[in-house]
Amino acid sequence: MLVLVINSGSSSLKYQVRDVAAGSVLTEGLIEKIGMGNGGDGDGEIEGPRDHAEALEQVDAAIHQELGDLELAAVGHRVVHGGERFAEPVLIDNEITRAIERLNPLAPLHNPANVLGIRAISKKWPKMPQVAVFDTAFHRTLPEHAWRYAVPDELYTNHGIRRYGFHGTSHEYVTRRAAALLNLPVNEFDGVIAHLGNGASVTAIRGGRSVDTSMGFTPLEGLVMGTRSGDLDPSILVFLGRAGWSPEDIDTMLNRESGLKGLAGNNDMRSVVEAAEAGDGKAATALAVTSYRLAKYIGGYHVAVGGAKALVFTAGIGENSHQFRALVAEKLGALGVELDAGLNAERSKEPRVISTPQSGLPVLVVPTDEERAIAEATAAVVRSGQ
């Protein structure tokens, strides 16, 4: 089954055509600057498609140029927010599209863009089955004591202010692969998954299900990330508000100017590690803060899952930065964690164990593949609907 996977942002559209049975990518691409151009007609051509419908025309042309005539069986959309309603991928119809739209206030940058992608497909290929795969869905199994904030109930009932969690598609996919690597049925897998990319989150998995996760109402909570602060005392925001910062100023500072960038002046882990190795004190501090925050969460989640059977690293930093993995592992002596330095330093695209046989718990590196997970989920929904 050939599935077109779409990740539609407000000004960009990322796509992949996947052969689900073969697990392969046939072609992929990225259309940028949507809404910034005039479609290239007339005088004063400005780069970029006018809207998502025009971007989709470009995707269609690129796919056909690359692959010739082919029959897409379905489209799978990455949708950021599924709120409290969506615990599974769903076949999209008008009611589902409106339900995703009703969640716009919870994800104002993402859900409206996801809906634009869905509507563009409906317009171009009205009969094409479309499936929404939600970033929050895997975390619908969080128990109330993990998703509640200790604030007046009215904030939850009137505004939906609770912890939702994100990166769910990746955490679920990596959970399945980690369980397989350990020869465990997924429902017997208890562990901690650290998805460390430019955005980063860590999830506590008990019996194959998410029981806690570090991102909350938005993807800002939790770990120190590329440009996001993660956890901080909320009074800081009140303090800044009183000092004259606008909500937009605070939002920009916390989401775009903090994290590794705020501490070390650079959001790229490779550069931060290189700078620290060259003696840059700020970079060393950034690594210390970032690895300590993660180690604290891992300790907490070890308790939350009743004793983890594995610690799993994934995404850009988790899969590639042996230096950062070592920094985290050295803080987990209380759990008996012991990395095999040789295995940790090896580069590979395969799921693997990087701890010693004596380690208190196995430490794994499991590459994530969100597009593959979306394509597989899409194919499964379409098949079950037939």
As measured in angstroms, the least distance from the Cβ of 207 to ligand AMP is 27
Listed ranges 63-71, 262-270, 300-308, 328-336: which one lies at the site for ligand AMP (CB under 6 A):
262-270
**Residue 317 or 361: which CB sits closer to ligand AMP?**
317
**Residue 58 or 198: which CB sits closer to ligand AMP?**
198
The answer to whether residue 269 forms part of the interface with ligand AMP (CB under 6 A) is yes
The answer to whether residue 32 forms part of the interface with ligand AMP (CB under 6 A) is no
Distance CA 310, CA 173 (A): 15
Record the tokens describing residue 285, joined without a space.
């501090």
Sole binder of ligand AMP in the list 129, 222, 226, 259 (CB under 6 A): 226
The answer to whether residue 268 forms part of the interface with ligand AMP (CB under 6 A) is yes
As measured in angstroms, the least distance from the Cβ of 321 to ligand AMP is 4
As measured in angstroms, the least distance from the Cβ of 49 to ligand AMP is 25
The answer to whether residue 28 forms part of the interface with ligand AMP (CB under 6 A) is no
> Which residues does residue 17 pair with via DSSP β-bridges, in sequence order?
4, 27
The answer to whether residue 197 forms part of the interface with ligand AMP (CB under 6 A) is yes
The answer to whether residue 270 forms part of the interface with ligand AMP (CB under 6 A) is yes
- Tell me which amino acid residue 68 is: G
Q: Tell which positions 126-155 bind ligand AMP, by CB under 6 A.
A: none
Residue nearest to ligand AMP (CB): 316
The answer to whether residue 255 forms part of the interface with ligand AMP (CB under 6 A) is no
Q: CA triplet 142, 147, 148: central angle to 5 degrees? A: 145
Listed ranges 21-29, 105-113, 214-222, 268-276: which one lies at the site for ligand AMP (CB under 6 A):
268-276
Distance CA 45, CA 80 (A): 33
The answer to whether residue 219 forms part of the interface with ligand AMP (CB under 6 A) is no
Tell me how far the alpha carbon of residue 156 is from its chain's centroid.
24
**Residue 37 or 367: which CB sits closer to ligand AMP?**
367
The answer to whether residue 12 forms part of the interface with ligand AMP (CB under 6 A) is no
135 in catalytic set: yes
Q: Which of 43, 69, 93, 135 is catalytic?
A: 135
Q: Tell which positions 316-335 bind ligand AMP, by CB under 6 A.
A: 316-317, 320-321
**Residue 188 or 346: which CB sits closer to ligand AMP?**
346
**Residue 190 or 319: which CB sits closer to ligand AMP?**
319
The answer to whether residue 351 forms part of the interface with ligand AMP (CB under 6 A) is no
- Print the SS3 string covering the chain: CEEEEEEECCCCEEEEEEECCCCEEEEEEEECCCCCCCCCCCCCCCCCCCCHHHHHHHHHHHHHHHHCCCCCCEEEEEECCCCCCCCCCEECCHHHHHHHHHCHHHCCCCHHHHHHHHHHHHHHCCCCCEEEEECCHHHHHCCHHHHCCCCCHHHHHHHCCCCCCCCHHHHHHHHHHHHHHCCCCHHHCCEEEEEECCCEEEEEEECCEEEEECCCCCCCCCCCCCCCCCCCCCHHHHHHHHCCCCHHHHHHHHHHCCHHHHHHCCCCHHHHHHHHHCCCHHHHHHHHHHHHHHHHHHHHHHHHCCCCCEEEEEHHHHHHCHHHHHHHHCCCHHHCCCECHHHHHCCCCCCEECECCCCCCCEEECCCCHHHHHHHHHHHHHHHCC
Listed ranges 136-144, 201-209, 233-241, 314-322: which one lies at the site for ligand AMP (CB under 6 A):
314-322
As measured in angstroms, the least distance from the Cβ of 355 to ligand AMP is 20
**Residue 130 or 169: which CB sits closer to ligand AMP?**
169
- Tell me which amino acid residue 77 is: H
The answer to whether residue 252 forms part of the interface with ligand AMP (CB under 6 A) is no
Active-site amino acid positions = 135
* Residues in touch with ligand AMP (CB under 6 A): 197-198, 226, 268-270, 315-317, 320-321
